[in-house]
Structure 1
Amino acid sequence: MDRCCQITTEKPTPPTQCPVCLQKGKSVQLITLKALLKPTALETIHPEMTYNFCTNASCDVVYFSGEQTFGKGMLKVSVFQKDDALDVPACYCFGWTRERLIQAVQENQHPIDHIREQVQANRCGCEVNNPQGACCLGNVTTFIRSLDKS
């Protein structure tokens, strides 16, 4: 039988580089897109595809797969990595914005400890709250460290 007539069940290998900025993306679960895309964008996803998150702050693309991309304006929330406003969450599950983190550090509070306690108590929902689809502690830690350097 000719190969052209064979049915393949293999999924095409998704690109791992953002098609706009060419930076390597991080794989993200479909549930993250389903939770955070605006309805008009959600209607266009391909559930059989694998999607990646673009972490490049200067790139408008948030999610990509193959020829399809979803930009910042297609999400219900602002994206920490792509919006440096003080009111954007660094921790989406427990409401730790940059502004709140700055205030906590100035008052000698320990937001990282608070977030860790909540995570250990199995209260986080990063896969549906955080656009990167993963734990935010890295973002929080990096931001707090940047305060120490300024």
Structure 2
Amino acid sequence: MDCCAPSSKVEPVKTNCPSCGEKGRSVPLITLKSLLTAYSLETIEPDHTYVFCPNSSCNTVYFSGTHAQTFEEDALKVPVFQKNFSMNVPVCYCFDWTRERLAQAISDNQRPVDHIKSHVQSNRCGCEVNNPQGACCLGNVTAFVGSLK
């Protein structure tokens, strides 16, 4: 091996949001491709790693884990549950369970978590393309429903 050859070290991916410092979670590129507006989609770098910032008080939704690129909620086609506190914002994006719909179901003694779980178990969800966090929403749904009780 040539000691003078350029290093093939991979640049480490930063998972702390450059705006707020909170640790984020890597999201699949398909999530950004599905949810960014056309204008924003034109600016992504497909070979970069992107991370979701869950901090509700931070304006950044996605950031590049290796570069300084960020996207805020206005760069997405959908409102972001963790960033937008409106009652009509989805908690479960695949099956359109908004905060309002969940609250109504709980007040009607329904079991929306079980309903959503059954769809997930039947492999009907598409969280990687529907949910801005790029992962399953059940944790968010369960926490929101728990906050209503």
Q: Please report the TM-score for the alignment, with normalisation by the length of structure 2.
A: 0.94
Letter in 2 for 1:22: G
Aligned to 1:80: 81
> What is the CA-CA distance between 1:147 and the residue it aligns to?
0.6
Q: How far, CA to CA, are the matches of 1:137 and 1:116 in structure 2?
A: 7
Aligned to 2:38: 39
Aligned length: 146
Stretches of 4+ moved more than 6 A in 1? none
Letter in 2 for 1:6: P
Letter in 1 for 2:98: T
> What is the CA-CA distance between 1:14 and the residue it aligns to?
1.7
1:13 paired with 2:12, answer: yes
Q: How far, CA to CA, are the matches of 2:7 and 2:21 in structure 1?
A: 32
Q: How far, CA to CA, are the matches of 2:131 and 2:75 in structure 1?
A: 15
1:132 paired with 2:104, answer: no
- Sequence identity percentage: 59
SS in 2 for 1:80: coil
Aligned to 2:26: 27
SS in 2 for 1:82: coil
Q: How far, CA to CA, are the matches of 2:29 and 2:85 in structure 1?
A: 26
> What is the CA-CA distance between 1:12 and the residue it aligns to?
1.6
> What is the CA-CA distance between 1:2 and the residue it aligns to?
6.5
Query: In angstroms, what is the RMSD of aligned CA positions?
Result: 1.2
Deviations 1:74-115 (A, max 9, x none): 000000000010000000000000000000000000000000
Letter in 1 for 2:135: A
Q: How far, CA to CA, are the matches of 1:6 and 1:60 in structure 2?
A: 38
Q: How far, CA to CA, are the matches of 2:105 and 2:143 in structure 1?
A: 15
Does the 8 A contact of 1:86 with 1:99 survive in 2? yes
Letter in 2 for 1:56: N
Does the 8 A contact of 1:32 with 1:128 survive in 2? yes
Does the 8 A contact of 1:14 with 1:49 survive in 2? no
> What is the CA-CA distance between 1:11 and the residue it aligns to?
3.5
5+ long unaligned stretches in structure 1: none
